[in-house]
Every structure is written in C-alpha cells, then in structure tokens.
Amino acid sequence: MRRPSTPLLPLTFICAALLAGCATMGTYRADTRPPDPLPDGPTAYTVFLVGNTADLTSDAVLAQLRADAQEAGDASAVVFLGDTAPAGGPERIATALRGASSRIVLVPGDRDGDLGVVQRQLAEALGVEVEAPRDVEPVEIDLLESLRLVVLDTPTWLRGDASVDVASGVVDLEQLVEDRDDEQLIIVGHHPLRSNGASGGFETPLGGIATLGVGALLGPTVGTSAGDLAAPRYRKLRSALEEAFGEHERLVYAAAHDRSLQAFVRGVNGGRSLQTFLVSGSGGGDADATVGGYGATFAASRPGYWRLRYYPDGQLWAEAVAVDASGAADTVYREALSDEDPELAAATAPDVGVDTSPAAPVADQVTLTSDAGFETGPFSNDGLTRVAAGAGYRDAWRTPVAFEVLDLNTEAGGLTPLRRGGGNQTTSLRVEGSDGHVYDLRLLEKGGTGGLPAPLRSGFAGDLVLDLRSAALPYASVVTGELAESAGVIAPKARVVYVPDSPRLGRFRSEFGNRLALFEVRPDDDMSDLDGWEGVTDVISSGKLREELTEDQDHRVDQEAFFRARLLDLVIGDWDRHAGQWRWAAFEPVELDPTLTGDDATRGKIYQPVPRDRDWAFYDLGGLVQRALYQFDRRYQPFGPDYGSLVGLTNNSRGQDRRFMSRISYAGAMAIAEDLQSRLTDDAIDRAVAQMPREIEAVIGDEWRTALRGRRDA
C-alpha cells in the first residue's frame, strides 16, 4: 500500500529551520520568575568559569572576576575554558587578576598554541599555582574530597590525529565517572555539547535583523564547519561523551567556544539529560547572538562568566554574572544544579534507625489505581484519546489494584535511602539494604512535560504529553523478568509496590511516601547470595567491560548469550537498549563449560549480558499521533503479534550490536532463535503474564499473550 504523501511536512520543516536560525542579542530565560535565594551559610568552594579571553577587547569582565575571586579567597578556582591568551601574551590577564589567591586552571582551546608557555607566564606574574593539563586522557583535579574537576582536551580529540587514542580517553572518562558516582563532578572542555549559539548553527543578527544564511538551515542538522555541533566528528564526540557521563546526576559539563552565556539544566525546560551543560565563552568582552528554547534554561548574548557555588551539604548552585563595558556587574541568572548529598547532609536528615519506625505495623496490601489521571483527567474521554493516540493502556492505568505494601523495616534487612535520581520521566530513590545490595524505587507516576517550554506545561499541550504516558505500562518490568528467566537471560525481577509513609525515608518522606513504585535490585558486584543470581559473583558496568576488553585480549563477551538477549528485546518490543541499559556478569570459562581443562578453563573472563530498565517494553502508541511520529521516528509503533519496523527496534543499540555480534553466523543465529522459541513456550508466556496483578491481567493479559506468541513464532 502506498503511503499517502504529506506535502506540508517539508514546508513545515523548512519554516521551522528558518525560524530556528534566527538568533538575537537579548537574554532568554525559560522561567521568568525571580530566582530562588541562595542557601544560608558559607560556601565550601567556588569555581569561576570563563572562556575566550584570547578575544579580549575590554578588561571589564576580568576586573569583576578578580573582585569576585578575591572575596572567595583560597577556597576557589578560576577555570579558563580555552582560547585563553590575548594578543601580546597572557600578561594582560595576569594584570587583571593580580591579587586573587584562587587556583588557576587552563583548559586547552583550539587557538591556544603552546599552553605550557601561557601556564609559566601566568604563574610567574600571579604568584599562584597554575595548572594546564593537556592529555588525551581526562585529567582529574581534586578541589575538595567530594568535589572534583575533570579537564578534557577536546581540540585534540576533534582533530582526530592517527596517533591519538580517543577511544581510550573516553573509556577512561567513563570509568572515572562511574568511580566518582557519589561525588560532584565539574567536567570542563573547550567545546560545548549543547549550544544555542554559533556552533549550534544559529546565525548572528545584523543591525538587529536576523540573517538567514546557510548555517541557519544546515548548522543545527549537518554542520557547516568542523566546529559545528552537527559536524560528523563533533557529533561523534558529543555522543561518546554523553554516553560516558552515563547516569551520573551530580555532573556538570562546562565549555566555551561560543561567545555567550548559556545553561541547559537537567530536567528543566527540555533538559532531557541527567546532566547540566553550561557555556561560558564571553570573557573577552564581546558576545555573539543566541536563541532561546531547544532545551535551554538560559541564554544571554552578554559578556561575563559563570560562578559555581558548592556548599558543605553538597548543593551546587550556578550564577551567570554579566558585565557591561563600564564594569557594572549583575547576576542575571541563578539555578540549583545539584541537591543536597545525603551523606554530607546526614546531620539534617531524620534518624532512620529503629527508634523512628512506625508505632504500628503497616498493612500488607492497599487498593488504589495506578494513575487516576487517566480516569478523571482532561483526556479521559475514550473517544477523543483513542483517535488521537490509540487505546494504549489507559484501562490498565485506571484499574484499581491490590498492591503489596513494601516494609522498609524488614525488606533486605531494612532499607536506608542513599540519593534521589531520575530525569524528566521517572523519579527514583536509590536505597541500600542491610544485605549489602543497592535497590531502586522508581515511582510509577511519570513526568514528561520537561520537554515543553514552561508556559505550555500547564495547558493543552502539557495535558496531551502527559496523556501519551498511557502507551507505556510499568507492569512490563514485572513480566520481562520472568520471560528472561525462561529464555536463559540473566536479569533482575521487579515488583510493583506501595511505599508507605515511613520515617525510614528520612528527608525523602514527603516525595516518596504513600506512592506506588517499581522495586528492583541494582545488579553490581557479587549477587550470588540473592535468589535467581546463584553463581553470579561479579557484575560490572558497560564502561568497565570496555576497559576489561581493552586491557586483556583473552577477555570476551559471550556473543551467543548477547544475541539471545537481543532477540528477547525484540520479542518484548524494547527498543531502548543503549550501552547504559546493560550490566555484565563475569565468569571463568570453566564455570560455563565444565568440560574445559588446563589453560582453557581459566584463560580470560567471559561476560554475559544483564539487561535492565524496561521502561519501553510493550510500548503501544497508536492513533493519529503515532502515524505522525512514525514518519520521522520508527520507534513509535504499536505493540502486537507483528514486529513492525526492525530499524525502529534496533537502531538505538546498533553500535553495541555490531561489536558484540561480530562472530555470530547465520546458522548460529538461527540455532539461537530456534532454541529461544523452544524456551518461550505457551506455559512460559502464561507464567510471565501472570506475574502482573490479577486485576491488570484481566484487562490486558489476553492481548499480551497473543502478541508474545505471535512474536515468538515469527
């Protein structure tokens, strides 16, 4: 059947691209409310971020920075984000900063030449320590025990010299990020990963009128120079760095390159990443145009710098300081980037010991709907919603269920909160059991409006976006764990639980008490003492796996096991399988094949996949919205007995698939597929679907059984 033509789509795209390329010299704030006040009490450390001082046309910014740094004292650092030395040498910078006792860090820029010369001259002129790391490997600088600065040489990485092992640098960065997952990281490089300025393809206006050149059309999408975010090598670097950042939520990446001040704060106005991205490149006194929106929380075409305030309890606040030609300074934007660290703020959190346990035991069960919004909300009318977005799982969301009540006092020997997590969609709480394992509590109630501009979130558009949550169902994680066991794939099993209002939640009590959540163990290290994990004595991350494979050629991935796991992903329709969604269980060869003897029994380790995070399994978007989205993104398709677009189901993980399926022959693939078919019997599928609450099974059980059997047979 021919797809109907859509002549308006190209025209719409072109118009949008033209408008997107129009930048202004103003200041954009996603939220126009007055900024929140800073926390009470002194800061523990202050980091100043300034870039492109090589373009120095006025000393006003540096003069204000010196006054700011003098006030901050020794517990501060000034980080020059590349392109540092102006014409005539760095003496002009030294003159402007003289008298400040801050630590000085120079980040390599693409116009810096010999950074060592600049380092020596600045150190001699200022009489303070000046650091200028320039290495393909990330360089870590300890500011405080809980605050780390990491310097990246992005110009070297972007040049792509044959002698430069960028892959090794990225692996080292990923491992560093994972090793420091409980600390505040400020990662700095010259090149931004987000920008609404020139490197993002947005043109500078002329005489107050935006010019619509080639960059306006091509910059945001394909790039017109090597310095554009969309240029092929730059795009690969961005992807590699963001993958290396993983799930670290106390991470800020700051850069310069563009002469402006910008912020893309996680979870705010489309900040889909778990991290925050800053641009601070107008330290030379000049500024280029920027554009609002596109996930930015703030964008200003003004000279200035960023000031990061780190507090003893782990809070990190960012302030944009704009400086005019006369030297007048103004804090034009302020945002909290990181909440309190639970360990650092332990003194302010209620005791979670036995003395604060509830006086009376909680009930074993509680009955309520998963999300009453699908019953009484603005899109509860079935006629309207089925036309717009298909049936989805609205009936399941609004069906009352008798939920298990999680006993935080006895589960895993007693659960203690560690930290809050999550992005736009899901809010989670990481907890530690007395059994030594870490677990996740992921609230069933989803967000989703963070991708919209703030004024739209409370209107029709916000209601529509929230309604599209009905295409996903949290009980998918309950079913997939049982299917994985039948398929011979190592995977955690989730439970849907009711979290009571317990004092054990401490300062998270108001946010997580009396809420429904998915409860699941976080696979890590030795899991062998848990049911279903027998023999699994070492689980590592994807970043650690790549490091292990690089260091020892005898280490290898069990490609047959990985192919089996990927086939299971297709059966359940889970397309979100990037590297961060996997853990890896390590085995000695003899543990998997007892017939091996001699060196063959112990040579290298064999890693089997441990899939996790099944938010997108059984995703079932339909209606007019699905048809529109499917034109641009093949992931958005209904879930049923047929597979639909295999490109949509596999594109997200193609890089890892290519690496870890390289030795699978066609005959071997068919043998694994046939074995998987034999394992996923009708009884196995029935048993998996029956893991859902019986009230939900009565609504969608037959539908899922039919779909799973059809996909198995195919």
Summarised one tens digit per residue, pLDDT across range 28-53 is 988 877 888 999 999 999 999 999 99
Lowest mean pLDDT among 30-39, 371-380, 422-431: 371-380
Check if the beta carbon of residue 285 is closer than 8 Å to that of residue 60.
Answer: yes
Considering only CA atoms, which of 397, 366, 365 is closest in space to residue 380?
A: 397
Q: How far is CA 569 from the centre of its chain?
A: 21
Q: What's the whole-number average pLDDT of the chain?
A: 83
The CA R_g of the chain, rounded to the nearest whole Å, is 27
Query: With bands split at pLDDT 50, 70 and 90, how would you rate the model's confidence at 422?
Result: low
Identify the weakest region by mean pLDDT among 74-88, 218-232, 490-504, 505-519.
218-232
Is residue 171 a contact partner of residue 134, using CB atoms and an 8 Å limit? no
Question: For the residues 252-268, what does the mean pLDDT come to?
Answer: 90
- Please give the pLDDT value at position 493: 94
Which of the 8 DSSP states describes residue 209? Answer: B
Q: With contact defined as beta carbons under 8 Å apart, do 448 and 468 qualify? A: yes
What gap in Å lies between CA 106 and CA 84, rounded to an integer? 8
Q: Is the pLDDT of residue 348 over 60?
A: no
Model confidence at 267: pLDDT above 80: no
Span 237-253, average pLDDT: 88
d(CA 714, CA 712): 5
Phi, psi (5° rounding) for residue 126?
Answer: -95, -25
Q: How far apart are CA 224 and CA 406, in angstroms?
A: 55
> In this predicted model, which residue has the larger pLDDT, 94 or 11?
94
Query: What CA–CA distance (Å, rounded) separates 157 from 201?
Result: 21
The tokens of 682 are what?
Answer: 């009708």
Q: How confident is the model at residue 12 (pLDDT cuts 50, 70, 90)?
A: very low
For helices 559-572 and 694-713, angle between their N-to-C axes, nearest 10 degrees: 120
CA atoms within 13 A on the CB side of 376: 4
Quickly state the pLDDT bin for 2 (edges 50, 70, 90): very low
3-state secondary structure of 648: helix
Paired strand residues for 276: 252
Beta bridge partners of 50: 80
Pairing of strands 582-587, 539-541: antiparallel
Tokens 């332990």 belong to: 346
